[in-house]
Amino acid sequence: MKKNDFSPQLTEFLAHYLPELKNVSENTISAYCDTFRLFLGYCKDTEGMNIEKMSLKDLKPELVERFLHWLETERGNSIATRNHRLAAIHSFVRYLQVQEPTLLLNFQRILAIPVKKTERKSIKPLTKEAVAVILRQPDTSKARGRRDATILCVLYDTACRVQELCDLRVEDVRFEHPANIRIHGKGRKIRIVPLLHSAIFTLMPDRFSCRSPGRTRRTFTGKEPFTTVYQPERQPIDQSWCCVYPQ
């Protein structure tokens, strides 16, 4: 077994195994990359390891446990974040079990590291009056306000996550009866959510200015965050579109 066999295995896992063989979503792969970016940085800066010569033999349960402890104590990450990082490492180790069976016992010890239980706090729902106040905040006489009103209305009407809103594409919105919106959730799960009349009104194309007359299918873009414009099919919503911008 080569000395520096960690890097090629990690590259194969992230660049080929997850997207090609497992068909994992881009968001999941991005989260896994973040985990190993932190892990390698910890190994280099805190453990004093030479990551260029890192071997799979160096991937020990004690190292993983110290990394998880560092996440909570030094970076101030929550238990939920700590568990997400551990899940990414577990996924990588399950992949390695088949690739390097000589280290199977060591990998199984890493897989035995448990997730921490978190306390689930009860969430107090907003009253109808409070929701109405929030929805009235954007100034709909301006393009920026119409954009913000659309974000709030769609989030309230569909109960979608912010990332799910960012992943919406032109063809996901149906205005014809029965009006609905197709949401791409976590784990590539798709759900169809009916749209109320208020959401249909805020999404109607005639409420927005069109930059290119030839483009009839619309979505939003974060490249010009203060306007709502038409874009070609399959143009995703940018995450910056959902950010809070200074006045």
Does an H or E element contain 31, and which? helix 26-45
Give me the pLDDT at residue 211, please: 41
pLDDT at position 232 is: 40
Nearest partner of 22 among 85, 95, 112, judged by Cα: 95
pLDDT given for residue 202 in this prediction = 63
pLDDT for 99: 92
Cβ neighbours of 147 (radius 10 Å) = 21
**What pLDDT sits at residue 204?**
57
Question: Which residues of the chain register pLDDT less than 70?
Answer: 1-3, 198-247
CB 48 within 8 A of CB 40: no
